[in-house]
Structure 1
């Protein structure tokens, strides 16, 4: 346990530094620019370097994609319907609870923790798990909520599917896939790993330098993001039941379900793939859940509460998961 805290503890200290900096207005105001730098430059280059420098793992086991695209969506749908039986207050927060209880901080927390616990060979595995996870969530939630909101706005009037796709849904897919720098760098990394293509040193060295800023800066920004999340909670109107449900699902239910799904494929996956899947499943809610809920649900307070609770409690749960894996 102490060994695991030695790996994970420094990351949470950086989060605390970011939280402390958030009491100063200039840092809070800079958060949007820092996050833009992380998204467009630091995180793509960090993941690229982690993937191309990882020791070779051979072919990607098909079970990886089955587990990610079955277990996590199933939990998300289950959370949605479970919230709807808890009364009107929980029913109104069913969508953000389903998102926050299943969408983890796989990039900022999951990849560096996987590498720190399993070793550098986890870089490629964690990168592919991250890519699959994010392609699903960065498209599924915005698309579903946009379609639902468009249907509600139409108030029963017929709406052409083609017009909805062209004006509302296609821009989401384009932004999340075609214009996503993280995804583009991952595709490049996979090309380098699985084909004879090699990038020149003039490209690799500055990419590695930019990637070196990703983890500390991203964790610093997670700390900054806790301030608007806490402000949303303090404003009131956040029912406790979905907070507890979403936090428990993200930190306990999802990693347990993932571990159970890994067992039948353990021979195919091996310890690196299995470990990366479970660690990434055990990460706290992503800061993106607050942004998505604010944009597509009109109220990010519930997602923010689950983000804060899961981030704080993960200091206990992540070392337990790591200890279980070892």
Structure 2
């Protein structure tokens, strides 16, 4: 367990650094936004493109894993929506569902999984991004839209158009295509992608911390945020283990990857989606902050439970 804590601590320490820098005014909000923009539009796509393209598509993409992970993701989303619906409007209930189903797999997945699973871990990360970002983002946009004729479809259309130009999803598609063709990247291109992608982890984590530095948890929201965080960090990984490991009986690698990806804290994308639609913003904001804090302890525990002992350099 101590080995996993030692492995994860530096990663969460960068998040803490970004949080402190934003909280105490050491960097302007525009700087945090710029770092996040660089990571999302340049560094992270380069990392995923290189990792996905450097291995055969059959090794990085597992259809049964993808179907099982997506099924659990949707089950969490709709279960939370159904639980919240009696005492919340549809939009707020959908925002809470997104808060429990959308993990920070893009920013936290590579730095946390790749040291434990190797470069093969890029495939599960990519499939988790497609499940939790592409599918839930479209569904959330539809259900959070104001209750006006055609508003939901227009919101979903806007979400789908944004997904079509999403640099992370495009890099996953490009890497899958390169992996399917089986042509290696030329040396200079590979080194360029490796050099640029190497910045993905630190910049993404710092930007995440800076974003969290702008959020707050009110006392009245602790109960809601605690419930959503429990769904995200406990129920979600347990369901993934049950579906992928017990029901679908996939290779243990896919069980490990799925459980750890499901144990990621709530993504800031869920907050952005709620804010854009003016639905459940405070509840999701509190969940993003609280789940990230709890994940700094719960994720090493989850990794320890599903992964053999690791050697810390």
Matched residue, 2:237: 255
Matched residue, 1:16: 16
Measured after TM superposition, the shift of residue 248 of structure 1 is 0.5
Measured after TM superposition, the shift of residue 105 of structure 1 is 0.5
TM-score scaled by structure 2? 0.88
Does the Cα contact within 8 Å between 1:55 and 1:121 map onto a contact in 2?
A: no
1:1-326 correspondence runs (5 A): 1-22=1-22, 23-24=24-25, 26-53=27-54, 58=59, 60-85=61-86, 87=87, 93-146=92-145, 149=146, 152=147, 154=148, 159=149, 165=153, 168-176=155-163, 178-230=164-216, 233-234=217-218, 238-264=220-246, 267=249, 269-298=250-279, 300-326=281-307
Paired residues in the alignment total 306
Measured after TM superposition, the shift of residue 71 of structure 1 is 1.0
Measured after TM superposition, the shift of residue 325 of structure 1 is 0.6
Give, in whole Å, the separation in 2 of the partners of 1:145 and 1:12: 31
Does the Cα contact within 8 Å between 1:54 and 1:124 map onto a contact in 2?
A: no
Does the Cα contact within 8 Å between 1:7 and 1:117 map onto a contact in 2?
A: no
Does the Cα contact within 8 Å between 1:57 and 1:121 map onto a contact in 2?
A: no
Structure 2 stretches of 5 or more lacking a match? 308-313
Measured after TM superposition, the shift of residue 299 of structure 1 is 5.3
Does the Cα contact within 8 Å between 1:84 and 1:94 map onto a contact in 2?
A: yes
Give, in whole Å, the separation in 2 of the partners of 1:311 and 1:264: 28
Q: Whose radius of gyration is greater, 1 or 2?
A: 1
Please provide the CA RMSD for this pair: 2.5
Measured after TM superposition, the shift of residue 242 of structure 1 is 1.8
Measured after TM superposition, the shift of residue 35 of structure 1 is 1.6
Q: Which SS does the other structure have where 1:225 is aligned? A: helix
| Distance verdict in 2 for CA 1:60–1:19, change over 3 Å | closer
Does the Cα contact within 8 Å between 1:251 and 1:310 map onto a contact in 2?
A: yes
Does the Cα contact within 8 Å between 1:143 and 1:169 map onto a contact in 2?
A: yes
Structure 1 stretches of 5 or more lacking a match? none
TM-score scaled by structure 1? 0.85
